[in-house]
Amino acid sequence: MKKLVKVVAAIIENEQNEVLCALRSPIMSLPNKWEFPGGKVEEHEDFFSALKREIYEELDCKVETDKDIFNDNTHEYETFIINLKSIKCKVVEGTPKPNEHSKLIWLKKENLISLKWAPADIPAVEQLINEK
């Protein structure tokens, strides 16, 4: 039986209505795919605390999260199943730096589709693009 991994992802928006996109490094699983930054939820954490911790570790900045989960998607990969909860955020301290990722870029929502996304992130990307 495949392991279920609970993961949170940050949809970080700036004042120009752009969204932060992170390129997975060649040494990560799903290399060179784009994703919303985030990571695994630890046993003792809720989704919002986990996201704040992960963003601090990965991007060296602090975020404030929305109160609600924006997108909840379960995706089955070859060796595991991921339950990905995407949450909208704003940076409240620092500037995002790619500590683990190859690259970070800010993109307008309508241009998100131009990137090669990790499969689990695609439903959140589509929801963002179709958002009014």
**Nearest C-alpha neighbor of 125 from the set 112, 116, 115:** 112
| Residues contacting 24, CB < 8 A, separation 6+ | 30, 31, 32, 33, 34, 35, 101, 102, 118
How many domains, in total, are found in the chain? 1
pTM over 0.75: yes
The position carrying tokens 């695994």 is: 40
pLDDT digits (tens, 9 = 90+) for 10-37: 999 999 999 999 999 999 888 999 999 9
| Domain ranges, residue 66 | 3-130
**CATH code of the domain in which 67 resides:** 3.90.79.10
Measured in Å, how far apart are the chain's first and last C-alpha atoms?
40
Q: What are the pLDDT digits (tens) for 51-93?
A: 999 999 999 999 999 999 999 999 999 999 999 999 999 999 9
